[in-house]
């Protein structure tokens, strides 16, 4: 495939290197869109993204490989409208027997990127802060690792908007999530965050992939969301549970704060010099 794209639009050396990890029939999904299939479609999409952000750079963070599933963190840096922007991302890949990616999903908050081009957008989680005692109630209790048998109950908690179950089942460490200036240390702060999310998002999720590592566990929930604007779109969340009780959420807030017309307008602004 690299030979076919070498003289075409996807001949960009960074794109060719990236496509090398994909099976020719692989799919790549990002929030609120349909999966993109095949080298040409995926490559052209990446080329368009690089035109908007040619200096995009990233470094890998935690990597967990569990059977055919690989989930890994990235810390991305890019210049948007003259402003340096940094944001985390989780990449989730399912591999074929020959090690090529056959299904990929990417989880990150594009509000972080778009806000430079659309200052009228408001951070969905503006004002969320810690309240009350520390999350472990001062007991010093050790976090319990996420287990395979926890999946059914936790999925029900996400779809049932059960704030208490989600908070209590996540361990006693800090919550890092989209829209926060600093991690939340208290149960009150974490509960306020989840309530704000559920106030703006009607989730319909299914269990996705899970990757259990020696220290970190990644859990994927994938399905759809209906925003207050009344539109149902593909959506997903990845949770990371760390060894000291850390709880991290990765998802895109953009479908919850902007409609399709607003998103198109933001792309157009980003493309302008």
Residue 9 scores a pLDDT above 90: no
Q: Same fold for the domain at 2-119 and the one at 148-257?
A: yes
Strand partners, 64: 71
**What is the C-alpha separation between 207 and 62, in angstroms, rounded?**
21
Instruction: Write out the H or E segment, with its range, that includes residue 211.
Output: strand 202-212
Specify the CATH architecture of the domain 148-257.
Answer: Roll (3.10)
Per residue in 81-129, pLDDT (tens digit) is 788 889 999 999 999 999 999 999 999 998 888 787 777 888 999 999 9
Burial (CB count <10 Å: 0-12, 13-18, 19+), residue 183: middle
Query: What are the boundaries of each domain within the chain?
Result: 2-119, 148-257
Angle formed at CA 6 by CA 91 and CA 26, multiple of 5 degrees: 35
**What is the C-alpha separation between 102 and 93, in angstroms, rounded?**
7
The domain defined by 2-119 carries CATH number 3.10.450.50? yes
Q: Enter the pTM of the model.
A: 0.91
Q: Tokens standing for 264?
A: 């198109």
What pLDDT is attached to residue 100? Answer: 96
Q: Tokens standing for 189?
A: 């702060």
Tally of helices (H runs) and strands (E runs) in the chain: 9, 11
**What is the C-alpha separation between 61 and 72, in angstroms, rounded?**
7
CA dihedral in degrees (59, 65, 69, 71; nearest 10)?
-30
The alpha carbon of residue 82 and the mean position of all alpha carbons in its chain are separated, in whole angstroms, by 24
Per residue in 183-222, pLDDT (tens digit) is 999 999 999 999 999 999 999 999 999 999 999 999 999 9
Q: Tokens standing for 146?
A: 């996420």
Residue 140 scores a pLDDT above 70: no
Length of the chain: 273
């Amino acid at each position: 495939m690299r030979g076919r794209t070498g003289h075409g639009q996807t001949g960009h050396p960074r794109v060719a290197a990236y496509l090398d990890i994909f099976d020719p029939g692989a799919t790549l999904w990002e929030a609120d869109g349909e999966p993109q299939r095949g080298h040409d479609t995926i490559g052209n999409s990446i080329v368009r993204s690089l035109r908007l952000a040619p200096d995009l750079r990233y470094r890998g963070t935690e990597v967990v490989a569990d059977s055919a599933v690989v989930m890994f963190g990235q810390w991305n840096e890019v210049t948007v409208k003259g402003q340096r922007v940094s944001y985390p991302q989780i990449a989730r890949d399912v591999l074929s027997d020959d090690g090529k990616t056959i299904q990929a999903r990417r989880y990150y908050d594009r509000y972080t990127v778009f806000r430079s081009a659309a200052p009228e957008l408001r951070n969905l989680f503006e004002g969320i802060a810690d309240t009350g005692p520390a999350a472990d109630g001062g007991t010093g209790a050790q976090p319990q690792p996420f287990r395979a048998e926890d999946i059914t109950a936790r999925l029900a908690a996400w779809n049932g908007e059960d704030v208490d179950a989600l908070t209590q089942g996540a361990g006693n460490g800090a919550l890092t999530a989209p829209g926060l200036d600093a991690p939340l240390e208290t149960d009150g702060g974490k509960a306020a965050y989840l309530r704000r999310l559920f106030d703006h998002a009607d989730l319909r999720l299914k269990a996705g992939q899970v990757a259990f590592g020696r220290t970190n566990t990644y859990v994927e929930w994938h399905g759809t969301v209906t925003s207050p604007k009344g539109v149902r779109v593909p959506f997903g969340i990845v949770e990371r549970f760390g060894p000291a009780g850390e709880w991290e959420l990765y998802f895109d807030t953009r479908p919850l704060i902007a409609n399709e017309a607003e998103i198109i307008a933001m792309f157009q602004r980003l493309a302008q010099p």
